[in-house]
Amino acid sequence: MNVQVKAVYHNSYLNIISALFKKWGLPPLIDHLVPAHPQCRTRASDAVQAILYNMFDGRQALVHLERWAQEIDLEKLIRSGLHPSWLNDDALARHLDRLYEAGIHNVISTCFIHLYRKEGLPLQVFHADATDKTVYGAYESASLEALQITHGYNRHQHWQKQIGFGLVGNEDGIPFYGDVHDGSLPDKTWNSQVRSRVHEQLKQAKIEDEWIYMADSAAMTKDTLAQTKAANAFLITRGPSSLRIVKRAWAEAANITWSDPFALAERNGAMHRVWETTSTYEGQPVRLIVAESSALDQRKGKTLEKNEPKKRSFFTRNKSVGSVTHSRAAKTPNKPWPPSRRPFVLGFIGSRPRLKRSCVRKNGADGRKKGRNPRWRRCISCAWTWNSIARRGNRRDGKRPGLSSSRPFRRNGRANQWMHKRS
């Protein structure tokens, strides 16, 4: 008996994913939501499955997906009669355009609702959060309706253009809603928009029961509270420390009786104490719970102990700021500088707090408006930092300039401008 081997494929766990995909009935649902042209040999569900399986199997680029498709059994994983050459980058790009035109968020939401109904998953508690992805390049959008890849608040302190990702899952972590939004969209606005979309999806699933929406402190806004009340839902969030009601609750918690300590973990868990009060925010009644954790107290204590030597050495170094000497100019050791010849760092190093780069323009330290601080105060936050000044004027004896050194550093152009303004 002659046995001919036609091909050998390495599908591994893709067989399980393909079986679940077909069991849930997602391919016909996607084809119904995103119809293709009758003359097209591939369908939208073929492109979606090929891209998903490719991501699980190594995530090749779209231009290499056709070559990757020749190494797997497409007829078993996707459908019979599908040829790898049909999944070229042009065909995939056309299907992606059709998904976008059909409303990618609506397609994903419909698939999620279909999945929740099929498996009977709980729809009572939802967790929402957003993040960003930094990209490089110009990315100039031709239309305002398209995705805006632009500058915005970046959580990783990368000051490039970015796009935002949002995800909402149920109490078991199974996704219920996801989107890709503009890079400049604030989290407060995103929470307000997403909460209303979750309510629409629950209406589409014909669920009228009460549900809980959990998010970070960005959800503590007037619009989110009003929409939550109108949707017959509850909002659980962390109160921002800048709110008056939170500060008042902290102040009252110092003189009240806490609850009995309890632990949430079974073994070696931290002990917690809570205290409950009520208040009003933006016309909406809120319930405040102040929690105290023993583990958090230990971490804060270690942080204070770690930073205490740094603070002590900082104030010790800056005790002698006023005793700057200039042996070259005065030709007399330890003779103080005259008021008109002092270095421009004298007067605020050690006595002025260090500002962040983002606070320069907000605090008026650039001197663009009248009545604001002089321009020379920018050195605390940008290129005129104390460290950069120290690097330019390091002494051979290792002492920092302006701190009782025998040879002060040479003034640069900005220092001369400041001294000219002062004189």
Cα separation, 8 vs 346, whole angstroms: 77
Question: How many helical (H) and strand (E) elements, i.e. helices and strands, does the chain have?
Answer: 14, 8
Q: 235-239, 318-322, 340-344, 391-395: which range is least confident on average? A: 340-344
* Token output for 62: 């779209």
Q: Which residue has the higher pLDDT, 76 or 208?
A: 76
Please write the tens of the pLDDT for every residue from 323-373.
Answer: 333 334 434 444 444 444 433 333 333 334 444 444 444 444 444 444 444
Burial of 284 per CB tally in 10 Å (0-12, 13-18, 19+) = middle
Type of residue numbered 174: I
> Would you give the distance in Å from CA 412 to the centre of its chain?
40
Instruction: Tell me the sheet residues that pair with 271.
Output: 263
SS3 (DSSP) at 287: strand
Is residue 386 pLDDT above 50, yes or no? Answer: no
Instruction: Could you list the beta-strand ranges (E) of 84-194.
Output: 125-134, 162-170, 175-181
**Residue type at position 53:** Y
Q: For 292-300, what is the mean pLDDT?
A: 75
Best-predicted range by mean pLDDT among 59-73, 291-305, 382-396? 59-73
C-alpha to C-alpha distance for 172 and 56, rounded to whole angstroms:
22
Tokens describing residue 72: 């797997």
The residues near 380 (Cβ < 8 Å, ≥ 6 apart) are: 348, 352, 353, 354, 355, 365, 386
Token pair of 290 as six digits? 């102040």
pLDDT at 422 over 60: no
Residue scoring higher pLDDT (94 or 301): 94
Question: Would you place residue 306 in the very low, low, confident or very high pLDDT band (cuts 50, 70, 90)?
Answer: confident
Least-confidence region, from 4-8, 75-79, 104-108, 348-352? 348-352
What residues pair up with 290 in beta bridges, in sequence order?
Answer: 275
Q: For residue 88, give the amino acid letter.
A: N
Strands 125-134, 233-236: pairing kind: unpaired
Six token digits for residue 4:
């001919």
The Cβ of residue 420 has, within 10 Å, a number of other Cβ atoms equal to: 8
Q: What is the pLDDT of residues 240-255, one digit of tens each?
A: 888 999 999 988 887 8
Distance CA 345, CA 352 (A): 11
* Residue 319: DSSP 8-state: G
- Report residue 305 as tokens: 């102990």
Q: Which residues contact 356 (CB under 8 A, 6 or more apart)?
A: 381
Round to whole Å and give the CA distance between 207 and 227: 17
